[in-house]
Amino acid sequence: MRVLAILTVRNEGSFLLEWLAHHRAAGVTDILVFSNDCTDGTDLMLDRLAELGWLTHVRNDGPHDKGPQWQALHLAARHPLTRAADWIIVLDVDEFVNVHVGDRTIPALLRALPEADAITLTWRMFGNAGQVSLTDAPVTATFTRAAPDPLEWPWRAVMFKTLYRNDGRFGQPGVHRPKGQVNDRQRWFDSAGRPLPGGPQRIFSALGQPHYTLAQMNHYALGSMEGYLVKADRGRANRDASGFDLGYWIDRNLCDSEDRTILGLPSHALLAELMADAALARLHRAAFDWRRARFQALMRDEAFRALFGRLLMTPPTRHLSAAEARLIWTHAVPPR
């Protein structure tokens, strides 16, 4: 069985090897990576990984009319790896598949849901938990405080990514779910194992329900405070405006629960194998040094200094009760 992950990256070389080792250990067999406009050496690292047979790298430098991620997915739809895949998932480098059944791999999840054609892997937000400085340590071991389950608000914290069967029942890859209309030939399930008749209506899971019984998508959207400034400077992959402001931070800085389950997947040997390659180790160090230097450069700008100060002053986000959340979503149309 061939499981394809599609990834888009820009200036994220310091995170790439951990992400790659984890998803290989989780059962991803093929990885198609699109890079755009890199200045930290991410593209060179991907070239080396392609030489070693770990992935396929496609350069996707701009300009992009609708953003680099949309352009990458358009290219991915016609790529031979996409046509050859049995299952497909579109990921970002701060998203880690975390399976809770069997041997913790994607094949184990598929065995747990044998009737599924598509599985919505709901985000579990991992907050900052007071981490100020950039460190060259694994993201999954550094950030272990996460959103509670269930979560009542905000809906942006329970969006999902879709693992789907690539047998002609779905359209081309999309950011959160494959494109095209849901039809009666598709059998959808969520990451708690519940069937979704008619498929999901939106790109986020239901608020106020537990979602992580079988699997979850660990989403390390914030990182350290220093790293968040670099992320804000980079911008978002699927739109022009960055949107990485204090509001984005507050919506995602949920730290109520400790969750170390992802550390149970044995990816350490694969990461050590990658770091044993002299070229990759050098490029990894250079990418981390670039990130530290970029933070220092951004701090010479008043707008970024002000944002950093607000991050330091802002405590972890208080999750809302069901009654408090109801004050918000009852005014929405439709309400949930």
Say if 93 falls within a structural domain. yes
Residue 81: pLDDT over 50 = yes
Say if 54 falls within a structural domain. no
Residue 241: pLDDT over 70 = no
Say if 39 falls within a structural domain. no
Say if 71 falls within a structural domain. no
Look up residue 185 and give its DSSP letter. Answer: T
Say if 33 falls within a structural domain. no
Say if 221 falls within a structural domain. yes
What is the span of the domain harbouring residue 298?
8-26+87-329
Neighbour tally for 333: CB within 10 Å: 4
Peptide bond into 150 cis (omega under 30): yes
Model confidence over 84-123: pLDDT tens digits? 999 999 999 999 999 999 999 999 999 999 999 999 999 9
DSSP string, 108-164: HHHHHSTT-SEEEEEEEEB--TT--S--SS-HHHH--EE--SS--S-GGGGBEEEEE
Residue type, 222: L
69 burial (CB, 10 Å; 0-12 / 13-18 / 19+) is buried
Under a CB-based contact definition with an 8 Å cutoff, are residues 305 and 232 in contact?
Answer: no
Enter the pTM of the model.
Answer: 0.96
pLDDT score recorded for residue 243? 76
CA dist 48 and 55 (Å) reads: 9
Say if 70 falls within a structural domain. no
Say if 336 falls within a structural domain. no
Better pLDDT: 192 or 241: 192
Model confidence over 248-301: pLDDT tens digits? 999 999 999 999 999 999 999 999 999 999 999 999 999 999 999 999 999 999
Which two structure tokens, joined as six digits, stand for 75? Answer: 């290219």
The count of structural domains within the chain is 1
62 pLDDT band (50/70/90 cuts)? confident
